[in-house]
Amino acid sequence: MDDVVLKFLDKPKLSNPIMVEGLPGIGLVGKLAGDHLLDELKAKKFAELYSPFLPPQVGIQEDGTVKLVNMEFHSWSRNGRELILLTGDFQGITPDSQYQLAERTLDLALDLNVKRMYTLGGLATGNITQSPRVFGAATSRSLVKEHAKYDIVFREDGAIFGASGLLLGLGVQRDVEGVCLMGETHGQIVDAKSAEAVLRVLTRILGVEVDMTALENKAKDTERQMGQISKMISDHQRAEQKRGDYSWESQSYIR
Amino acid sequence: MDDVVLKFLDKPKLSNPIMVEGLPGIGLVGKLAGDHLLDELKAKKFAELYSPFLPPQVGIQEDGTVKLVNMEFHSWSRNGRELILLTGDFQGITPDSQYQLAERTLDLALDLNVKRMYTLGGLATGNITQSPRVFGAATSRSLVKEHAKYDIVFREDGAIFGASGLLLGLGVQRDVEGVCLMGETHGQIVDAKSAEAVLRVLTRILGVEVDMTALENKAKDTERQMGQISKMISDHQRAEQKRGDYSWESQSYIR
Amino acid sequence: MDDVVLKFLDKPKLSNPIMVEGLPGIGLVGKLAGDHLLDELKAKKFAELYSPFLPPQVGIQEDGTVKLVNMEFHSWSRNGRELILLTGDFQGITPDSQYQLAERTLDLALDLNVKRMYTLGGLATGNITQSPRVFGAATSRSLVKEHAKYDIVFREDGAIFGASGLLLGLGVQRDVEGVCLMGETHGQIVDAKSAEAVLRVLTRILGVEVDMTALENKAKDTERQMGQISKMISDHQRAEQKRGDYSWESQSYIR
Amino acid sequence: MDDVVLKFLDKPKLSNPIMVEGLPGIGLVGKLAGDHLLDELKAKKFAELYSPFLPPQVGIQEDGTVKLVNMEFHSWSRNGRELILLTGDFQGITPDSQYQLAERTLDLALDLNVKRMYTLGGLATGNITQSPRVFGAATSRSLVKEHAKYDIVFREDGAIFGASGLLLGLGVQRDVEGVCLMGETHGQIVDAKSAEAVLRVLTRILGVEVDMTALENKAKDTERQMGQISKMISDHQRAEQKRGDYSWESQSYIR
């Protein structure tokens, strides 16, 4: 199996689309925002990405059928505005796979004439707040300046991990500019409030309108599904510790 | 060494076999069910799979000889019914190796005209029950419907990890359909009862008959062997922690 | 993406440069010493190294822009003395990537006529001392002898991990000689004092002069940035443990 | 850098050598036995094996020079008896690298006409005994029978990890037969007594004589060196945990 398998259902013709990345991360802020944007805009899936860099698992859906974990690309256009949305179940599970997946995403983006990206995520502050701030980082000073009017806090602030960071860091080397929007979040909860804050800023930037009503419920659904899988995983781990059928990868042995 | 080495002892001619996967997993339910089916049907081994994706170890057998850990493929046919059984000591030990091994298994399955698979496993509920339920998931709604009559519980339920999930998730993309049967199990014990429940459903589906008498003893044997290896592993680990001759892979160092 | 991407901004012409490696390690001694030498000498960056072997993250800088983590090569020459400085945010994050990065560094060094290297690091003793010793190890006995006059303690002493060790161990096989200078350090603190001790020895060897005044502040800055990132990482980890969106790599699962 | 680099200093001409593997493992029994055999027989090093599958480190030797960790092959012959000895600082640090290194060792063995191997190791029982037993496992029943006279305990007994197991498991597929000799050992100590027991059996089999006097001191030396490195490693780890400059590989992050 190739490292990354891109399965095109369709190839959208776009002249100047903006790409939005909403993959799972801290507080699930990026994923919630991306999934909600997708649902509300009714964007159309045009490609699926499968990879051995994603966890080796299928989800069981409501109708009893299975779905292999993946990332999905969607397109949307109206009145000359064009968007590509990247959503997914997981990010790459090893550091180097993060790089490979980001590069392949950029290949696709460049092929579809993307020149600007917005990557969405959370920034953990340990605080629970009713009006989460939105932090930002960008690929150039002029982009920082351009976004000053949107109530985004740009400041020196540690690091951005995973796809939200790499798409910018690798993108700028390939002439794609980008901004990362990070919603302030506690860090320990699935945070619909923070996702809403990020979406409010993003939709102003993009000039699109999105109803936020369903976001709270989506957060609850997501939390429930994650909790289920989380429980299964810890069950498995306890079971394996007991029976000694263990993970070689994280263990030492004779040497 | 290649990532996957398939050693054919024989190449069975089959026109429409069903493949059954019974590799180790939660509660060893799938492995117990697969091994028991193999023994009772006296299926014939036709291929061995070796791989650096399996743990680097040999087992010591009763007669003092060693056996490199592997997976094995067996064939069986009677009265027009044809089966291929996949059994093994381990599953792939890294996430991506799970994908590679599943793809190679599908290569072999397609080459032998397999169009349907049953993958066997356990589903941990934390309960000990005398009449474990059998849960299911399938590659299509029509398969779910087709299996409704067999007392299989199909419902949204987290995820299926490893080979039992990937064979379905990757198989459906290559036109092989499949059903995963998961026996309810506590999660912390090697569970012959759960394996029996899975086998009772599977044999009804397949239209074969299997005596369950020896299953309980097989479970005890398996538990004993696993316990032995488990003890050796923890001995090694303690020893290595002490002498500082440790696993780099799971450790950090100067950087 | 290739395993190592070298981006040349310029290609210095040097006839007999000495390479100095100052990457992060124990007590950040090597990084502090390398960064300070860079700043004081005002050496000129001529190449950037990017790699999926480095962590998948970008740093957020003071002006709100992002910087992909990397290593950087700088050149400096004056009065016939020529230096190449290797600095960076991280070292390779897997054991084998350490080898690959060291080999690529040696490729570049050989290409630029480097015949001698100094690698800088810390040696943890658990003690806090006002006058840290400088320990050494070299690629040959004659080098050990040559450096005897610089108050360097050469003795049998365990191992040197990462780039500081591999550049010597792999370098000697390619006819590049080298000395590793390790500042005595507690091990648990970012240690400007130890970096200063290393730099005092190094500058005597190289015959260059460097003001140490700013080193203490640089150590504080570095500690603050590291602390920020460290906090973000532990926030992420706690969040992920809670929501079950976990690292497959370091975990076991069904098999 | 290639996955395995074999550097021949010399290529011995041997007609029917027996290979003995003595790499580090449980109780360091195999390493102690192998190193002692090497020293006493004064076997001649003819090849060095370097690999990114070994830890990225150099050892600091008594004279202040560094030595890249490696494995070494030695040859010895007298009165028609021919031996190849494999010794080393470490075994491969990932499961799959164990396979690759074992295959490469077999390539070399076959190239030098090896038809039989003895692999040496420890078997942890948790007991401290003055007269450790020697356990065995072999690639065929006839080999088990052939060795019955040497006070070797052959019995079903878990698994053999690492090179001592894989050389047999992979060797038998390439027509090299072999026996693993495992000295009974506590598991938590560097065990010269157990190494001596293994060597007494091995030398009887091989028909060579070896003085055991120096073995006890070698064990103490080995323990001291290991302890040094072990302390350095734990110092590094504590330091890194503190400063958040950590191992990505064994950690989870945003996804």
Of B92, B159, B245, the CB nearest to A57: B159
- Please determine, for residue A225, whether its predicted confidence score (pLDDT) is greater than 80: no
Which of A67, A65, A229 lies closest to B136 in space, CA to CA? A65
Q: Hey, what are C249's tokens?
A: 């790599």
Q: Find chain A residues with C-beta within 8 A of B167's C-beta.
A: none
Radius of gyration for chain C, computed over Cα atoms and rounded to the nearest angstrom: 19
Residue D252 domain-assigned? no
pLDDT confidence of D110, banded at 50, 70, 90? very high
Tell which wins on pLDDT, C254 or B209.
B209
Tell which wins on pLDDT, A241 or B233.
B233
Give CA separation, C156 vs C65, D107, D229, in Å: 46, 35, 11
Tell which wins on pLDDT, B36 or D224.
B36
Task: Summarize pLDDT for D22-79 with one digit per residue, the tens.
Answer: 999 999 999 999 999 999 999 999 999 999 999 999 999 999 999 999 999 999 999 9
Residue A255 domain-assigned? no
- Please determine, for residue A203, whether its predicted confidence score (pLDDT) is greater than 80: yes
Q: Rounded distance, CA A54 to CA C191, Å?
A: 39
pLDDT confidence of B239, banded at 50, 70, 90? low
Task: Summarize pLDDT for B72-81 with one digit per residue, the tens.
Answer: 999 999 999 9
Task: Summarize pLDDT for A88-107 with one digit per residue, the tens.
Answer: 999 999 999 999 999 999 99
Of C93, C138, C165, the CB nearest to D249: C93
- Using a CB–CB cut-off of 8 Å, the residues of C that contact B are 23-26, 90-95, 121, 161-162, 164, 248-250, 253-255
Tell which wins on pLDDT, B6 or C242.
B6
Per-residue model confidence (pLDDT) at position A224 = 75
- Please determine, for residue B243, whether its predicted confidence score (pLDDT) is greater than 70: no
Residue C220 domain-assigned? no
Residue B72 domain-assigned? yes
Of C58, C229, C249, the CB nearest to A169: C58
Residue B217 domain-assigned? yes
**D98, B236: Cβ pair inside 8 Å?**
no
Per-residue model confidence (pLDDT) at position A128 = 81
Per-residue model confidence (pLDDT) at position C240 = 52
Per-residue model confidence (pLDDT) at position D155 = 86
Q: Rounded distance, CA C216 to CA C133, Å?
A: 18
Of D50, D56, D255, the CB nearest to C95: D56
Q: Hey, what are A166's tokens?
A: 């790499």
Interface test with C, best of B23, B26, B254 (most C CBs within 10 A): B254
Mean pLDDT over each residue of chain A, to the nearest integer: 89
**D65, C246: Cβ pair inside 8 Å?**
no
pLDDT confidence of A189, banded at 50, 70, 90? confident
Q: Rounded distance, CA A109 to CA A163, Å?
A: 14
Instruction: Please name the amino acid found at residue C118.
Output: Y
**CATH number of the CATH domain containing D178:** 3.40.50.10900
Of C59, C235, C245, the CB nearest to A124: C235
pLDDT confidence of A233, banded at 50, 70, 90? low
Per-residue model confidence (pLDDT) at position D247 = 33
Q: Rounded distance, CA B255 to CA C89, Å?
A: 9
Per-residue model confidence (pLDDT) at position C130 = 83
Residue C47 domain-assigned? yes
Tell which wins on pLDDT, D216 or B70.
B70
Please give the residue of chain C at the shortest CA–CA distance from D7.
Answer: C173
pLDDT confidence of B246, banded at 50, 70, 90? very low
Measured between its terminal Cα atoms, the distance across chain C in Å is: 31
Of B161, B248, B255, the CB nearest to C253: B161
**C250, B254: Cβ pair inside 8 Å?**
no
pLDDT confidence of D239, banded at 50, 70, 90? low
Of D24, D93, D166, the CB nearest to B247: D93
Q: Rounded distance, CA D107 to CA D252, Å?
A: 38
Please give the residue of chain D at the shortest CA–CA distance from C190.
Answer: D243
Per DSSP, helices labelled H in C189-214 are: 192-206
Per-residue model confidence (pLDDT) at position D157 = 74
Per-residue model confidence (pLDDT) at position B129 = 83
Q: Find chain A residues with C-beta within 8 A of C253's C-beta.
A: 56, 233, 236-237, 240, 247
Tell which wins on pLDDT, D112 or B126.
D112
Q: What is the mean pLDDT of residues B15-38?
A: 96
What's the complex ipTM?
A: 0.89
Interface test with C, best of A107, A150, A166 (most C CBs within 10 A): A166
**D94, A249: Cβ pair inside 8 Å?**
yes
Q: What is the mean pLDDT of residues A212-240?
A: 73
**B60, D155: Cβ pair inside 8 Å?**
yes
Task: Summarize pLDDT for D121-170 with one digit per residue, the tens.
Answer: 999 988 888 899 999 999 999 999 999 999 999 987 789 999 999 999 99
**C52, A137: Cβ pair inside 8 Å?**
no
Per-residue model confidence (pLDDT) at position D125 = 87
Counting as low any pLDDT under 70, the low residues of chain C are: 230, 233-255
Q: Find chain A residues with C-beta within 8 A of C67's C-beta.
A: 169
Q: What is the mean pLDDT of residues B199-225?
A: 89
- Please determine, for residue D237, whether its predicted confidence score (pLDDT) is greater than 70: no
**C137, D55: Cβ pair inside 8 Å?**
no
**B254, C95: Cβ pair inside 8 Å?**
no
- Please determine, for residue B242, whether its predicted confidence score (pLDDT) is greater than 70: no
Task: Summarize pLDDT for A111-150 with one digit per residue, the tens.
Answer: 999 999 999 999 998 888 889 999 999 999 999 999 999 9
Please give the residue of chain B at the shortest CA–CA distance from D168.
Answer: B66
Of D92, D250, D255, the CB nearest to A250: D250
Q: Is the model's pTM score more than 0.95?
A: no
Place of tokens 């800055």: C221
Q: Rounded distance, CA C197 to CA C190, Å?
A: 14
**A248, B24: Cβ pair inside 8 Å?**
no
Measured between its terminal Cα atoms, the distance across chain D in Å is: 31
- Please determine, for residue B38, whether its predicted confidence score (pLDDT) is greater than 50: yes
- Using a CB–CB cut-off of 8 Å, the residues of A that contact D are 23-26, 90-95, 121, 161-162, 164, 248-250, 253-255
| Whether the Cβ atoms of residue D43 and residue D206 lie closer than 8 Å to each other | no
**Min distance C116 CA to chain D CA atoms (Å):** 15
Per-residue model confidence (pLDDT) at position C250 = 30
**D160, B60: Cβ pair inside 8 Å?**
yes
**Percent of chain B surpassing pLDDT 70:** 89
Residue A215 domain-assigned? yes
**D23, A255: Cβ pair inside 8 Å?**
yes
Give CA separation, A87 vs A66, A75, A90, A174, in Å: 18, 11, 9, 22
CB atoms within 10 A of CB A127: 10
Q: What is the mean pLDDT of residues B203-225?
A: 87
Beta strands in C12-115 (DSSP E): 18-22, 44-50, 57-60, 66-68, 71-78, 81-88
- Domain range for D59 is 5-234
Beta strands in chain B (DSSP E): 5-8, 18-22, 44-50, 57-60, 66-68, 71-78, 81-88, 116-124, 134-138, 152-154, 159-161, 177-185
Per-residue model confidence (pLDDT) at position A234 = 66
Per-residue model confidence (pLDDT) at position B252 = 33
Per-residue model confidence (pLDDT) at position D246 = 33
**Min distance A249 CA to chain D CA atoms (Å):** 7
Q: What is the mean pLDDT of residues A76-91?
A: 96
**Min distance A195 CA to chain B CA atoms (Å):** 24
| Whether the Cβ atoms of residue A167 and residue A99 lie closer than 8 Å to each other | no
Strand order in the sheet with D18-22: D5-8, D44-50, D71-78, D81-88, D18-22, D116-124, D177-185, D134-138, D152-154
Residue B130 domain-assigned? yes
Rounded to the nearest 10 degrees, the angle between the axes of helix C215-243 and helix A215-243 is: 90
- The number of folded domains in chain C is 1
List the single range of A190-199, B79-88, B112-121, C186-195 with lowest mean pLDDT. C186-195
- E strand or H helix at C240, and its extent? helix C215-243
**Min distance A121 CA to chain C CA atoms (Å):** 12
pLDDT confidence of A78, banded at 50, 70, 90? very high
**B248, C90: Cβ pair inside 8 Å?**
no
Of D95, D121, D255, the CB nearest to A162: D255
Q: What is the mean pLDDT of residues B21-38?
A: 96
Per-residue model confidence (pLDDT) at position C157 = 73
